[in-house]
C-alpha cells in the first residue's frame, strides 16, 4: 500500500510529457542519441558505394588520393564521431572536417570555432593518427564539435581505405535518454504563409536550438584559444553540469543575456531548468565581493565589464524562480544577489538614471553613459528583484526596490522619450532610436501607455528590410536576439499581423536559407542575409565563425506559446496564470501547453461555425487543480483569419475578464452578439 503511494508520488514529480500529436513530426530532436548520416551532400575523386554510409548500411571505399565525401546529418547535431576502419595500409590517411553551413564544406578546413579569422580556415581539420589501425575509431573527447550538420571524410593518399559505421554520439542534453521527451508542445497552421507549418516548425526549431546549447560541464571551448589548425572543447564551464551555454559550436560558455530568450524557450519546451540554475549559480559564485560586479560570461572566458549582462543575471534569477519555484536556491544566492543589485543602484547618479560604465553588451555600438537600454534593464531588475523580495518576506527591501523602480520609470520617460519620433532615444545627446531599448520599454512596461506602445511598434517597423529589422545601434546587421524582444513588443501592442510579418521575414529567412542548417537558428547575419555577422565588430570578417545554433535567437518559441496561443504563468510555478490569446494573426486555430512542478497547463482555441452558421470562438483550457487564472479576450477587435482558402473578417467581443479555477474548462464566444458561455 505504502509502496504504491510512493510510486505514484514519484511519477507525479517526474512530470508529464506533452500529449502526442501531429506536431511531433516537426520536432527536430533525433529519436536516438546515436545518429547516422541521412544523405550524401557531395563527393570528390573516386569512391565506391559511398551511399552505404547513409544509415550505416555498409562499407564505402576511397579509391584515389584526395578523394573525399561530405555526409549530411540532415539537421544540426553535435558530439563525437566514431567509425570502423575496414581496410587501411601503412600509407593510408584519414581526416575529418566539420561545418554547420554547407558553404564551408571543404576537405582542407572546418568552419571556425576557435577564433575568427578572415581566411575562414582557422580551425583546420582533424587528422586520424597514422598509421591507421583497422577496427573501431573514436574521436578523442577534447576534439568534440558541439555543432555541425556536415561531416567531410578525406582520404589523403592512394593507399586503400574503406570505412563503415559512421555515427555521431550526441553530446548535448546528456541527462536526457530521450531527446524528444518534451513537456511542452505547440501547433498552429498559418494558411497564407508560404509554408503553412512554418509557425510549428519555428517553435520546434527554437526548442531544439536550446537543447543543442545544453551541454556537459567539461565541454567548453578552450581558453586561451586553441592554436591555428586545431580546436578544443574540453574546458570546465561552471559550478555544476549540465549547463546552458550560448551556442552549440561556439562560444560554448555561459552568457546571461542570451538566457533572457533561451530560458523561456527551455521552460515551454523541455522544462529542463537545472542547466539554467547551474549557469546562474556559476555567475553568482564569481561575483566580485569588493564591488558586487558579476561577470559578463562564465568560465573559461570569464569576460568582465558588462552592466547589461550583469542585469540579465538578476532578471534571469527571477525567470528561473517564476518557472521552477526554487526558493531554496534563491535564498542561497540572496546575499550575492542583493550585492549585485546594489552594484547597479550605485551607478545611479544625481540625474536619477544609471550611468552605464561597463560597456560590453550584445554587440551593439555605443551604450555608455545615460543609456536607455541600460536604464530599461535596471528598471526590470528592480521590478523583478522586488517581486523576489516579497516572496522571501524581505518586505523592506521589496518596497525600497519598488519605489526606486517607479521613480526610474518616470525619469526614463522624461529623459528618453522623443515625442516627435514616437520612440525612445539611445541617450540624452543623440537622435538615434535603438531597437533594443524601444523593444524593452514595451516589454517591461516602461511606457505605461497604450499610445506609446502603438507608436513604438509602428516606429520599429521603419527599420525593417525584406528579412528583418536593421538596428540603428548596429548598422548592416540583423540581430535575431534583439528581434526576439521586438517580436514580443508587437504582440503586446496588439499588432498581431505585424508580429506575424516579422516572424516570417526574420525566422522564415533563417529556417529556410540554404546558407544555414534548416533546423536550428543563426546567431545573426548581415542586413543582406550573408553569414558575415559582426564582420566589422569583433568577428574579423569571418563568416565561418558565425554560430548556427544560438538559443538567443529562439524568441518565437516562447512568444508563440505566451502570445499567439496566449497561455502564461503570472506567479511562481503558475499558481496563477493568464489566458489571453492573440486572435488577429490570420491563424484559424492554435493549440499547445507546458508543464510546471504543479502539473500540466494546456490550451487550445479555434474559430468555428456553430450549427446555425454563426462564427464562434471555441476555447479549451486545462490547468492543475488548486491554481487560478484569468481569461482575457480583446473587446471589439477586428480580426481576420483564413481557412480553406477563405478569409473571414469578424468583430470579436470578449467579456471584460473571466476568473477560473484550475481544472478543464470549455468556453465559447459568439463573435456576435458577443456573449460568452462556459460549457464546463
Ligand X SMILES: *[C@@H]1O[C@H](CO)[C@@H](O)[C@H](O)[C@H]1NC(C)=O
Residues that bind ligand X (CB under 6 A): 34, 82, 84, 89-91, 117, 119, 121-122, 136, 159, 165, 167, 228, 281, 284-285, 287, 289, 327, 332-333, 336, 345, 348, 355, 357, 366, 368-370, 391-393, 400-401, 404, 426-427, 429-430, 432, 445, 448, 473, 476, 526, 528, 530, 532, 535, 640, 647, 649
Identity of the residue, 82 or 571, whose beta carbon is nearer to ligand X in the bound complex: 82
Whole-number Å distance between alpha carbons of 386 and 405: 9
Q: Please list, in sequence order, all residues whose beta carbon lies within 8 angstroms of the beta carbon of residue 498, skipping any fewer than 6 positions away.
A: 457, 461, 490
Residue 36's closest CA among 69, 86, 3, 82? 82
Identity of the residue, 1 or 90, whose beta carbon is nearer to ligand X in the bound complex: 90
- SS3 at position 101: coil
Identity of the residue, 168 or 202, whose beta carbon is nearer to ligand X in the bound complex: 168
Whole-number Å distance between alpha carbons of 517 and 546: 12
Please check whether residue 617 is in contact with residue 583, taking contact to mean a CB–CB distance below 8 angstroms: yes
- CA angle (385, 388, 391) in 5-degree steps: 155
C-alpha cell, 445: 512596461
Contacts made by residues 228-232, CB under 8 angstroms, sequence distance 24+: 228/114, 228/115, 228/117, 228/122, 228/124, 229/122, 229/123, 229/124, 230/114, 230/123, 230/124, 231/110, 231/113, 231/114, 231/123, 231/124, 231/143, 231/145, 232/114, 232/142, 232/143
Tell me how far, at minimum, the Cβ of 447 lies from ligand X, in Å.
8
Tell me how far, at minimum, the Cβ of 664 lies from ligand X, in Å.
27
Tell me how far, at minimum, the Cβ of 164 lies from ligand X, in Å.
8
Give how far Cα 106 sits from Cα of 42, 64, 123, 226, Å.
Answer: 10, 17, 12, 20
Tell me how far, at minimum, the Cβ of 658 lies from ligand X, in Å.
18
DSSP string computed for 427-439:
STT-----HHHHH
Helix (H) / strand (E) element for 70: namely strand 68-88
Tell me how far, at minimum, the Cβ of 679 lies from ligand X, in Å.
29
Tell me how far, at minimum, the Cβ of 221 lies from ligand X, in Å.
16
* Helix ranges (DSSP H) in 230-295: 256-269, 274-285
Identity of the residue, 207 or 500, whose beta carbon is nearer to ligand X in the bound complex: 500
Identity of the residue, 36 or 187, whose beta carbon is nearer to ligand X in the bound complex: 36
| Residue in the shown chain whose Cβ atom is closest to ligand X | 448
Identity of the residue, 202 or 544, whose beta carbon is nearer to ligand X in the bound complex: 544
Identity of the residue, 203 or 412, whose beta carbon is nearer to ligand X in the bound complex: 412
Identity of the residue, 29 or 383, whose beta carbon is nearer to ligand X in the bound complex: 383
Tell me how far, at minimum, the Cβ of 263 lies from ligand X, in Å.
19
Tell me how far, at minimum, the Cβ of 678 lies from ligand X, in Å.
25
Whole-number Å distance between alpha carbons of 103 and 427: 40
Amino acid at each position: 500500500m505504502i509502496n504504491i503511494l510512493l510510486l505514484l508520488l514519484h511519477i507525479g514529480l517526474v512530470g508529464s510529457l506533452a500529449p502526442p500529436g501531429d506536431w511531433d513530426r516537426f520536432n527536430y530532436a533525433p529519436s536516438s542519441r546515436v545518429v547516422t548520416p541521412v544523405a550524401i551532400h557531395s563527393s570528390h575523386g573516386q569512391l565506391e558505394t559511398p551511399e552505404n554510409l547513409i544509415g550505416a548500411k555498409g562499407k564505402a571505399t576511397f579509391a584515389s588520393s584526395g578523394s573525399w565525401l561530405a555526409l549530411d546529418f540532415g539537421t544540426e547535431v553535435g558530439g563525437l564521431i566514431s567509425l570502423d576502419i575496414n581496410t587501411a595500409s601503412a600509407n593510408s590517411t584519414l581526416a575529418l572536417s566539420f561545418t554547420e553551413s554547407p558553404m564551408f564544406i571543404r576537405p582542407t578546413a572546418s568552419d571556425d570555432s576557435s577564433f575568427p579569422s578572415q581566411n575562414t580556415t582557422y580551425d583546420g581539420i582533424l587528422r586520424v593518427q597514422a598509421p591507421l589501425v583497422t577496427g573501431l575509431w573514436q574521436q578523442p573527447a577534447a576534439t568534440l564539435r558541439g555543432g555541425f550538420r556536415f561531416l567531410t571524410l578525406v582520404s589523403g593518399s592512394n593507399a586503400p581505405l574503406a570505412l563503415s559505421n559512421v555515427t555521431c554520439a550526441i553530446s548535448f542534453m546528456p541527462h536526457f535518454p530521450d531527446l524528444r521527451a518534451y513537456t511542452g508542445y505547440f501547433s498552429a497552421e498559418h494558411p497564407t504563409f508560404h509554408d503553412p507549418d512554418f509557425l510549428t516548425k519555428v517553435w520546434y526549431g527554437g526548442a531544439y536550438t536550446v537543447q543543442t546549447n545544453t551541454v556537459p560541464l567539461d565541454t567548453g571551448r578552450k581558453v586561451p584559444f586553441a592554436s591555428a589548425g586545431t580546436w578544443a572543447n574540453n574546458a570546465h564551464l561552471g559550478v555544476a553540469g549540465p549547463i546552458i551555454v550560448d551556442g552549440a559550436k561556439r562560444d560554448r560558455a555561459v552568457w546571461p543575456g542570451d538566457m533572457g530568450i533561451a530560458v523561456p524557450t527551455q521552460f515551454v519546451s523541455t522544462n529542463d531548468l537545472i542547466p539554467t540554475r547551474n549557469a546562474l549559480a556559476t555567475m553568482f559564485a564569481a561575483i566580485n565581493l569588493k564591488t558586487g560586479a558579476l561577470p559578463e560570461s562564465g568560465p573559461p572566458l570569464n569576460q568582465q565589464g558588462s552592466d547589461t549582462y550583469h542585469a540579465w543575471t538578476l532578471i534571469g534569477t527571477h525567470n528561473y524562480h517564476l518557472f521552477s519555484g526554487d526558493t531554496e536556491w534563491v535564498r542561497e544566492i540572496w546575499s550575492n544577489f542583493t550585492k549585485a543589485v546594489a552594484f547597479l543602484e550605485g551607478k545611479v547618479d544625481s540625474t536619477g538614471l544609471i550611468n552605464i560604465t561597463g560597456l560590453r553588451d550584445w554587440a551593439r555600438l555605443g551604450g555608455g553613459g545615460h543609456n536607455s537600454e541600460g536604464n530599461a534593464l535596471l528598471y526590470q531588475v528592480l521590478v523583478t528583484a522586488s517581486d523576489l523580495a516579497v516572496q522571501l518576506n524581505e518586505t523592506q527591501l521589496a518596497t525600497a526596490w519598488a519605489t526606486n523602480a517607479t521613480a526610474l520609470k518616470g525619469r526614463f520617460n522624461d529623459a528618453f522619450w522623443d515625442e516627435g519620433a514616437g520612440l525612445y532615444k539611445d541617450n540624452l545627446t543623440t537622435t538615434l532610436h535603438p531597437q533594443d531599448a524601444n523593444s524593452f520599454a514595451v516589454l517591461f512596461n516602461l511606457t505605461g501607455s497604450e499610445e506609446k506602445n502603438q507608436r513604438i511598434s509602428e516606429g520599429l517597423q521603419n527599420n525593417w528590410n525584406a528579412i528583418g529589422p536593421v538596428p540603428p545601434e548596429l548598422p548592416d546587421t540583423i540581430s535575431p536576439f534583439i528581434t526576439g524582444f521586438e517580436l514580443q513588443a508587437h504582440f503586446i501592442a496588439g499588432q498581431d499581423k505585424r508580429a506575424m510579418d516579422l516572424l516570417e521575414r526574420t525566422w522564415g529567412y533563417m529556417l529556410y536559407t540554404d546558407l544555414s542548417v534548416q533546423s536550428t537558428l543563426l546567431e545573426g547575419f548581415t542586413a543582406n542575409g550573408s553569414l558575415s555577422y559582426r564582420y566589422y565588430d569583433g568577428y574579423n570578417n569571418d563568416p565561418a565563425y558565425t554560430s548556427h545554433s544560438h538559443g538567443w535567437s529562439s524568441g518565437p518559441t516562447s512568444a508563440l506559446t505566451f502570445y499567439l496561443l496566449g497561455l502564461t504563468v503570472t506567479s511562481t510555478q503558475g499558481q496563477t496564470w493568464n489566458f489571453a490569446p492573440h486572435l488577429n494573426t490570420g491563424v484559424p486555430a492554435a493549440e499547445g501547453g507546458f508543464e510546471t512542478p504543479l502539473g500540466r497547463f494546456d490550451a487550445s482555441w479555434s474559430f468555428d461555425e456553430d450549427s446555425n452558421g454563426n462564427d464562434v470562438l471555441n476555447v479549451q483550457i486545462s490547468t492543475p487543480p488548486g491554481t487560478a487564472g484569468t481569461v482575457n479576450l480583446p473587446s471589439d477587435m477586428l480580426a481576420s483569419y483564413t481557412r480553406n482558402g477563405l478569409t473571414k473578417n469578424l468583430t470579436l467581443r470578449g467579456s471584460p475578464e473571466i476568473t477560473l479555477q484550475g481544472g478543464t474548462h470549455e468556453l465559447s464566444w459568439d463573435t456576435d452578439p458577443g456573449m460568452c458561455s462556459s460549457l464546463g
